[in-house]
């Protein structure tokens, strides 16, 4: 049941688009963790850099989208830069479309 809710939340977050890179935050590897405690959800995520001007926009979008998922009562979004985001976290097809070289 928890796994299904996490999957529904992750799918809902696919509509949150990073304005800089033009792809959703899930495929970009910005979502580090989704934890469920009853109906409370904690999402740990990042952005490209600590000074990213879109951080507030992304956090607000994640909060709104996750809160709309049936079964979610409250949402806490934690921004972290540990570990730092790198292009290696991007889904391979998206990474290729963005012009990043293959990362081994």
Tens-digit pLDDT profile for residues 24-54: 999 999 999 999 999 999 999 999 999 889 9
pLDDT category, 102, cuts 50, 70, 90? low
Total length of the chain: 104
The CATH number of the structural domain formed by 2-83 is 3.30.300.130
Task: Tell me the average pLDDT of the chain.
Answer: 93
Q: Are strands 31-37 and 40-45 parallel, antiparallel or unpaired?
A: antiparallel
Question: What's the rounded Cα separation, in Å, for the pair 36 and 39?
Answer: 7
Q: Are 16 and 57 in contact (CB under 8 A)?
A: no
| Entry pTM | 0.91
Mean pLDDT for 67-92 is 95
> What pLDDT, on the 0 to 100 scale, is given for residue 96?
87
Highest mean pLDDT, choosing among 48-52, 54-58, 73-77 = 73-77
Residue 13 CA: distances (Å) to CA of 6, 16, 69, 79, 99? 11, 5, 10, 15, 23
User: Looking at the predicted structure, is the pLDDT value of residue 104 above 70?
Assistant: no
């Amino acid at each position: 049941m928890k796994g299904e809710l996490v999957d529904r939340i992750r799918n809902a977050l696919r509509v949150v688009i990073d304005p800089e890179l033009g792809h959703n935050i899930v495929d970009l590897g910005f979502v580090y963790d989704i934890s469920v405690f009853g109906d409370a959800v904690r999402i740990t995520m990042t952005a490209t850099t600590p000074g990213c001007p879109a951080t507030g926009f992304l956090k607000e979008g994640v909060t709104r989208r996750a809160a709309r998922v049936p079964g979610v009562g409250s949402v806490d979004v934690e921004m972290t830069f540990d570990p730092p985001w790198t292009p290696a976290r991007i889904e391979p097809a998206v990474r290729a479309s963005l012009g990043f070289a293959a990362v081994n």
